[in-house]
Amino acid sequence: MQPIAAAWPKAELHLHLEGSLVPATLFEISRRHGCPCGLDSLAACQALYQYQNFAGFLQAFKTVSQHLLDPEDYALALRGLAQDLKRQNVVYAEITLSIGVLHWKKQAVAPVLEALEAERQALHNQNLRLAWIFDAVRQFGVAAAEKVLSDALYWRERAPVVAIGIGGDEIQGPAVWFESLYARAAANGLHLTAHAGENAGADSVWQTLRYLHPERIGHGLRAREDQELIRYLAAHGAGNAGKQTESPIWLEICPTSNVRTQCLLRLADHPLPRFWQAGLALTLASDDPAMFETDLNQEFSQAAALGLSPEDCRQLARNGFLAAFLPEPDRAAYLNLFDSRSPQASGK
């Protein structure tokens, strides 16, 4: 499946910049800053990306973020990520930036965004379009998330900031906290996405739907525990032929991530095939590709290993453009590009 998927032009919608930092680049950055967290070798950086559970992953993500100390560190991370996306034939990506962590580090947002924007603009005419999702950290609370929303509203006039999201620990930061914030974000024209059902149960997904009204949910893994929730998502789904409802609720599915964080014990337990057969609106993503030693092409191999057919995988890839936060004319252009380069099995 991987060689076939590699040829398709693709959209990557659930992708954290900080989690894309490969160990070699992390070591380069750490060494430049005097190894502030003890990452004084490539082996130490590689060992950081081995964890036993979701809490261990969050700690590793925190450590990576603590090494991004100046705008050039972020620019270097984006430079490497862009090269990798082009290698995978990704033509459009919405990159999640942990603005909440920037504030936690007491690091100025403006110089970082200016550096990232300079890198993004340098990619013009290189067949890779990037947009930004500003992410708040659930467990940091509402006041911290308010700062992220303010940044998103300011920067969307200066950069392609398309959405706001929340990540982190669902248990320590329930969705209900952010109801008012999400309502204001929507009223101001921002798209809405939220991690949910990753390290907390189906009730966390229900809360997210009830209080935040997201267009996309990151993971939604634990929906598998609640047949009523699956039926609800299917009613707002896409079917197996991509004939989505007027306002679908998309799930951003990240199989390798779920296994590496031990939210699932093994790939064979992943509910992707069940969700697909139920008609949920699904996209495929790599989440934190360097930290999980994966990429989007490999995720299609995982989908095939779980039993999805080549035509299923093709539709899953096409869904990336259907679910993207794009203006409709741009979406149509990307879909035409995809269809021209990935004909259906029937020969279309």
Active site residues: 198
262 Rama sector, left if φ>0, alpha if ψ -120 to 50, beta otherwise: left
DSSP 89: T
Count of C-beta atoms within a 10 Å radius of residue 76: 19
CB-based contact 124:193 (threshold 8 Å) = no
- E strand or H helix that includes residue 167: strand 161-167
Q: Find out whether 286 and 2 touch, Cβ atoms under 8 Å.
A: no
Reduced to 3 states (helix: H, G, I; strand: E, B; else coil), residue 229 is helix
CA-to-CA distance for 191 and 176, rounded, in angstroms? Answer: 18
Closest CA to 65 of 37, 46, 43, 38: 37
H helices within 123-241, ranges in order?
Answer: 142-155, 179-187, 202-212, 227-235
Read off the amino acid at residue 257. Answer: S
